[in-house]
Structure 1
Amino acid sequence: MVSTGSTRKNKLDLDPTTVRQARSLARKAGKPIVDLAKKHTTVSVERATLRLAGLQGADADGTPWVNRLLDAVRADVGIEHGVALPVWDALLRGEADDLSVLAQKASAGSVRFRLPEGRDATRAQSAARRSVGAGVRRIDGRRKERERLVKRWGDPKQKPWIYLIVATGDIYEDIPQAQQAAREGADVIAVIRSTGQSLLDYVPEGATREGFAGTYATQENFRLMRAALDESSKELGRYVRLTNYASGLCMPEIASLAGLERLDMMLNDSMYGILFRDINPIRTFVDQRFSRQVHARAGIIINTGEDNYLTTADAVEAAHTVTVSQLLNEYFAKEAGLEDWQLGLGHAFEINPDLPDSFRMELAHALLARQLFPNAPLKWMPPTRHMTGDVFRGYMLDAFFNLVGALTGQGILLVGMMTEAVVTPWLSDRDLALQNVRYVLNAAGNLHEDFQPAPDGFIVERARQVLAESIDLLERIVHDSDKAGDPPLLAAIADGTFGLMKRPPQGGRGLDGVARKSAAYYNPASEILEDGR
């Protein structure tokens, strides 16, 4: 867990009634989305259920067996009833000895699925729950394993945790780079995904050696990197955390694989895929709720993506949309079972540095996030939008970013690169960036304990202004109704409220993979995750 220390003190003197109002409005805006999610399932939720039951591997063309099996079930009976009853009914009828053989036979067209009724349905439910429950228990075991290792090796002594991205496309090149980054001071290693993987409606299998601006997220890649960082943790005497991305069309599956392979953090934002990957909003919210339930069970910290709004919208004018998204992400996360210590809510240092008082505004925005979410390990993101290729200016901007992190007691600090958004950073760039972070954090020490903005001064007034604008926006979202009868938040997303991206609820990728649950719907994974047993 990330302690926020004395930053819990209300340095901005925020009115508690106003803060409660903001959270109440976020809950009102979010609840219709949760209700919508509970009434639907998706192909990825159902495939995640099969993965939790132990189905792995792929056919000769690289198509995962979970996809092949689900497609066969869907063709025969649809997915509105869930995959569990038809699949385990087929196993009980003797169609195959296990899931792997059943998937292969289904792919060849030699199995037909039905929706069982009566005693057959009861037997299929029990068998499915046993199989899927074994997978959830494996996730429970990996969580306990993490707790034991953290106790054995210890957590990093300093806060915030230093978060560094490593991704070459080749997992076997990523490993030595990640291990060296840990030796140089990184506490969290993020392996970003290959460009476009979020748009694949399947999870690749095995270790991968080619990627584009990142490395494919696969179960084997997760396993390899986690094992390598365990070696580094033992060597360094501190537990090094591993991050990947649970987003896109396979969000629930990747979340499940992360739990099974003991990843520690996952990028998991409620609206990122909608806004920046044009994935259908309903698909995203359904997948997101299931994935967060898995993260809650696995003890995984989520990182949200509010920083991305400021790459398309102005960081001053749109500052309140970041706060609104943070409040919504908090509501959705807690509804799914996540605790405060698992909420790595995102925000970023993206104000145009040429603006007068830009540093003071960055302080105001960062301190507002810290004060609104005092027990959450906020993820503070470095400048990218205004990086120009002038590496000296960029290095200075990153130092200012690091200083804001120290002044406001952020929980997770993503290392900025002087070549950010210009080229893929070299190893030497990472080393210099880590030197920058280490110098600032070491020199500043616990400076956040001494930092106190002037009452009613610029920083305090700017923070209050952003909070007031956030409440105004939430009130508009809650009180505006959509003619089609969709939840108001879907209408706000369609209007381009967040990140200037307009995404209608019936548009985007993946809508054909969404189904409204029938009265006979059954999913043992959802049942186990909902009741906590």
Structure 2
Amino acid sequence: MTAATTAARIPLDPATVRTARRLARKAGRPIVRMAQQHTTVSVERATLRLAGLGGADAEGTPWVNRLLDAVRGDVGIEHGVCLPVYDALRRGEAADLTELAQKAAVGSVRFRLPEGTERTRAASLARKQVGAGIRRIDTRRRERDRLIARHGDAPRTPWIYLIVATGDIYEDIPQAQAAARAGADVVAVIRSTGQSLLDFVPEGATREGYAGTYATQENFRLMRAALDETSKELGRYIRLTNYASGLCMPEIAALAGLERLDMMLNDSMYGILFRDINPVRTFVDQRFSRQVHARAGIIINTGEDNYLTTADAVEAAHTVTVSQLLNEYFAKEAGLEDWQLGLGHAFEIDPEVTDSFRLELAHALLARQLFPRAPLKWMPPTRHMSGDIFRGYLLDAFFNLAGALTGQGILLVGMMTEAVVTPWLSDRDLALQNVRYVLDAAGGLAEDFRPAPDGFIAQRAQQVLGEAVDLLERITDTEQHRDGLLDAIADGTFGLMRRPADGGRGLDGVARKADGYLNPAIDLLEETS
């Protein structure tokens, strides 16, 4: 992406920028150490998926859940799932992982922790089979590169990002293909409401969902194949997005890598704040998922825009900047590169506020300048949309113009019926027309847009950056927050949501690693991070 190279620059103090990043690292390091010291049921299930275990029983419970639960009941997960599982395979308890899971589900196999030579052999077999899954992800990444070289890429930035999700994957496919033909560069199939709270990944193609379509491996495969056909037809590669968040974040990340998705929503705090998922569970899961995304060449999209749906977009602007800095640190620590950081922010200021558009430009330029090599994901107005579709269409046009002026990399298409109904195809067509008109009419206007160095926009950006540094200083001040970022989250610092470290969903799925813990997926991913 080259959008950042032509965006206007505002006079930010380099020392203040360095201080902000230093404080973000200081706030993030204890979280990384905590993540390195723990595992979760989803990390272990993701490892089994990379080893090739898929499918579900007659009741729809995935075999990875059945196998993991049996291992956990016998020996816990503190040593990792691989040692007891591959010890059982080596002892002849089953011919493969699927048969082992089936036997485990009916209690006909018991698990143990091998020692000595038996441990060494179990570990070797585990690394071989999990390594095959990692190599498949490598193959899919190379496949993406070949298809982009063959078909071509989006002709310009920002990439136009459109949501398609009816609940029925077989209805999603023609709608996604129609969206690509109408100009979308990225198609997002958002998940059915509530899937983030399921501690399992549904199996197979699904035809029912509420306000979204279930994220499953088969749905990923079907949509990827359909968009590959459309890429060939249009002569440009169409990217596919889904969500790697919630209680199954690591598993969905692994499935995305195996099925060649291109972007995944993957925020470090979204699940904590807006789904009440335990903070420790989330941070452990997000580190593993980002290591997978790094290996797979997947661009992540973070969720800072959500803070502005619960907090005031002017008063809380600095919390977005702080979260972006934290997301950047966590992402890079996990091995992601700048071009993979679709850091989120949004056009959510109340349009009744005087100078609201100038404020939006200030916030967008601040993000663009702080992260010049990151694509940035710019989100449309939602909070202040109403039943007045004409006003909504105008707001979306202003949002599109702000994106063009400030060199955003990924522009999510806003819908004028956002507040009324799930958009019809005609609504999407009108929204895409809006985007295309603004981007075509603006052309290279970003090259000509130069805010006054001492003007309103520059001063506002400097103010927000200063407030972000102040907040990071409070977060890292152990007298105010003994446990740093975890305490800040518990205090309601982000999005006004109070989420204590010992509360929330999924805490019972977290375990502190024992001496001798083994996970070949982590070992292989960290070798290349």
- Which residue identity lines up with residue 446 of structure 2 in the other structure? H
Identity %: 81
CA shift for structure 1 position 480:
3.2
Q: Give the Cα separation in 1 of the matches to 2:74 and 2:214.
A: 32
SS in 2 for 1:189: strand
- Choose which of 521, 528, 532 in structure 1 pairs with 2:528: 532
Q: Give the Cα separation in 1 of the matches to 2:527 and 2:477.
A: 33
Partner of 1:504: 500
Partner of 2:6: 7
CA shift for structure 1 position 423:
1.3
- Choose which of 176, 192, 195 in structure 2 pairs with 1:194: 192
Residue pair 2:193, 2:212 contacting (<8 A) in 1 also = yes
CA shift for structure 1 position 422:
2.5
Q: Give the Cα separation in 1 of the matches to 2:519 and 2:101.
A: 18
Q: Give the Cα separation in 2 of the matches to 1:102 and 1:481.
A: 51
Residue pair 2:380, 2:396 contacting (<8 A) in 1 also = yes
- Choose which of 103, 110, 122 in structure 2 pairs with 1:112: 110
Q: Deviations over 1:234-255 (max 9, x none)?
A: 0000000000000000000000
SS in 2 for 1:114: coil
Partner of 1:248: 246
Q: How does 1:197-276 map to 2 (within 5 A)?
A: 197-276=195-274
CA shift for structure 1 position 6:
2.7
Q: Give the Cα separation in 1 of the matches to 2:289 and 2:479.
A: 28
Partner of 2:183: 185
Residue pair 1:242, 1:265 contacting (<8 A) in 2 also = yes
- Choose which of 487, 490, 515 in structure 1 pairs with 2:511: 515
- Which residue identity lines up with residue 520 of structure 1 in the other structure? G
Q: Give the Cα separation in 2 of the matches to 1:242 and 1:6.
A: 25
Partner of 1:354: 352
- Choose which of 141, 144, 147 in structure 2 pairs with 1:143: 141
Partner of 2:488: 492
Partner of 2:440: 442
CA shift for structure 1 position 446:
1.1
CA shift for structure 1 position 226:
0.2
Residue pair 1:81, 1:518 contacting (<8 A) in 2 also = yes
Q: How does 1:445-484 map to 2 (within 5 A)?
A: 445-481=443-479
- Choose which of 27, 31, 36 in structure 2 pairs with 1:38: 36
Q: Deviations over 1:150-178 (max 9, x none)?
A: 01111111210000000000000000000
Partner of 1:83: 81
Q: Give the Cα separation in 2 of the matches to 1:301 and 1:159.
A: 15
CA shift for structure 1 position 303:
0.1
The list of structure 1 runs, each at least 4 consecutive aligned residues, that deviate by more than 2 angstroms after superposition, is: 4-9, 480-483
Structure 1: stretches of 5+ with no match in the other structure = none
Q: Give the Cα separation in 1 of the matches to 2:156 and 2:142.
A: 24
Structure 2: stretches of 5+ with no match in the other structure = none
Residue pair 1:495, 1:502 contacting (<8 A) in 2 also = yes
SS in 2 for 1:289: helix
TM-score by length of 1: 0.98
Q: Give the Cα separation in 2 of the matches to 1:155 and 1:451.
A: 27
- Which residue identity lines up with residue 303 of structure 2 in the other structure? G
Partner of 1:157: 155
Partner of 1:320: 318
CA shift for structure 1 position 315:
0.1
SS in 2 for 1:162: strand
Q: Deviations over 1:371-397 (max 9, x none)?
A: 000000000000000001100000000
CA shift for structure 1 position 4:
2.4
Q: Deviations over 1:120-175 (max 9, x none)?
A: 10001100000000000000000000000001111111210000000000000000
Residue pair 2:4, 2:372 contacting (<8 A) in 1 also = no
Q: Deviations over 1:166-204 (max 9, x none)?
A: 000000000000000000000000000000000000000
- Which residue identity lines up with residue 496 of structure 1 in the other structure? G
Aligned residue pair count: 529
CA shift for structure 1 position 17:
1.1
Residue pair 1:7, 1:370 contacting (<8 A) in 2 also = no
Residue pair 2:4, 2:408 contacting (<8 A) in 1 also = no
Q: Give the Cα separation in 2 of the matches to 1:7 and 1:444.
A: 13
Q: Deviations over 1:406-433 (max 9, x none)?
A: 0000000000000113211111100000
SS in 2 for 1:479: coil
SS in 1 for 2:416: coil
Partner of 2:122: 124
Partner of 2:415: 417
SS in 2 for 1:91: helix
- Which residue identity lines up with residue 359 of structure 2 in the other structure? M
Q: How does 1:47-62 map to 2 (within 5 A)?
A: 47-62=45-60
CA shift for structure 1 position 481:
4.5
CA shift for structure 1 position 327:
0.1
TM-score by length of 2: 0.99
Residue pair 1:481, 1:488 contacting (<8 A) in 2 also = no
- Which residue identity lines up with residue 304 of structure 1 in the other structure? T
| Distance verdict in 2 for CA 1:482–1:48, change over 3 Å | farther
CA shift for structure 1 position 8:
6.0
Residue pair 1:6, 1:449 contacting (<8 A) in 2 also = no
Q: Give the Cα separation in 2 of the matches to 1:490 and 1:166.
A: 35
